[in-house]
Each structure stands twice: as structure tokens, then as C-alpha cells.
Amino acid sequence: MLKIGITGNIGSGKTIVSKMFGVLGIPVFYADTEAKNIMTADPILVANVKKTFGDAAYFADGSLDRKYIANIVFNDDKELAKLNKLTHPAVFRAFDAWVAGTNNAPYVIKEAALLFESTSYKMCDYSLLVTAPLELRITRVTKRDHITRAEVEAREAKQLSESKKKELADYIIENDETRLLIPQILALHEQFLQLAKP
């Protein structure tokens, strides 16, 4: 089955684009949401998180102590890299299982903020980057998440630059509020349907 990875830096609109493909009947795997679920559902991952960050990473009921983990990883890039090294393979396993259970779709979408950073784009046949100018993205995120410009810039700094992602992406959607999104999505949908034909 044809697999399309969708990504974009913070505030680009990658989730909106993914949802529009969903409206067209294309199954979408939201990697970031799934990563939160598997932190408690994947026994291999749970064991590795406890081994790396201590038993205090989980509450007695088995739920993840997100605050505890956040305090460790968000101020220390080495600790964040350790967590990502544990989490990404678990998300890959979940994606493979999800694809195996997805039938009767011409193609599927994997939406992931760290598609290139995690190398999971290599599990997809093609990658699609959603782009928007930095100032527009900062405005969107400060309004959406009620956070400061500095906080958005800090998150942006943890991702590959948009220019680097443009070099890696097979397809690009411009979400800069000067071009309509739906025609761009419909045109790509038609291309993907052609590519998915046996």
C-alpha cells in the first residue's frame, strides 16, 4: 500500500491538511497522538522508559507522569534524544501494525511533526511538506496555544529548518494564506491515486 508522510514545522497547518485528506476518505495515522498512547500501551517502551528515567516516570496506576518526564527532557537535549530514541521505534511498530490492519484504501497518510528528524520518512513512499512563512506560523501558534513568541521560537529551534525539509520533501503544499489549500490537496490526491494504481 502506498504510504505518504506529511510533516511541517510548528504552525504550518500539517494537521489541517491531514484532516482534509481524511475527509477524502484517506486513512490518517497521527504519529504524535499515537506516541502519547504508546507511552503506556507498548510494554517494550514502558520497560525502556523506566530503565532510562526511573520507575518514577509512571504512576502506580500505570499512567505516564508527563510532568516528571517533561522536567527531565525539555531542558536537556541529550535526555530528549534518549527519549526520542526509545519512542520512535515504538511509533514505527505501531504504524506498521496500523497499515497492516488498514484495508480498501488506495493509500494512507502518516502525519508526523518529526517525519524527517526521526527518519520515519524512509518508511513512506513519498513525503509531503506543508509550509508557511515563519512570522505567520508564530502568529498562528501564539494565538492557538496561548504561548509567547519566545516559546514558539524555542520549539521551532528543536526542529529541522523548513529550508532543509524542502530539500528532503517530494511534494510541498503552501499554506501561506495567499494560495487556496483545497485545490492543492485535490491535485495531490489525484496524483497519489495514480501512483497507488497497481
Query: In 101-148, which ranges are continuous DSSP H helix?
Result: 134-145
> In 3-state terms, what secondary structure has residue 131?
strand
Low-confidence ranges of the chain (pLDDT < 70): none
Map grid coordinates 495531490 to a residue.
188
Q: Are 25 and 105 in contact (CB under 8 A)?
A: yes
Is residue 135 exposed (0-12), middle (13-18) or buried (19+ Cβ within 10 Å)?
A: exposed
pLDDT attached to residue 198: 83
Distance CA 78, CA 82 (A): 6
Spatial neighbors of 115 by CB under 8 A, at least 6 apart, are 5, 6, 7, 31, 121, 124, 127
Q: Are 13 and 130 in contact (CB under 8 A)?
A: yes
Q: Are 5 and 119 in contact (CB under 8 A)?
A: no
Query: Looking at the whole model, is its pTM more than 0.85?
Result: yes
Distance CA 167, CA 186 (A): 23
Phi, psi dihedral angles at 105 (to 5 degrees) = -115, 140
Distance CA 67, CA 53 (A): 13
Distance CA 7, CA 172 (A): 10
pLDDT tens digits, 55-78: 999 999 999 999 999 889 877 889
Q: Which amino acid is at 173?
A: I
pLDDT attached to residue 151: 87
pLDDT attached to residue 16: 95
pLDDT tens digits, 27-53: 999 998 998 899 999 999 999 999 999
Domains of the chain plus CATH, in order, are 1-27+107-198 (3.40.50.300), 40-101 (no CATH)
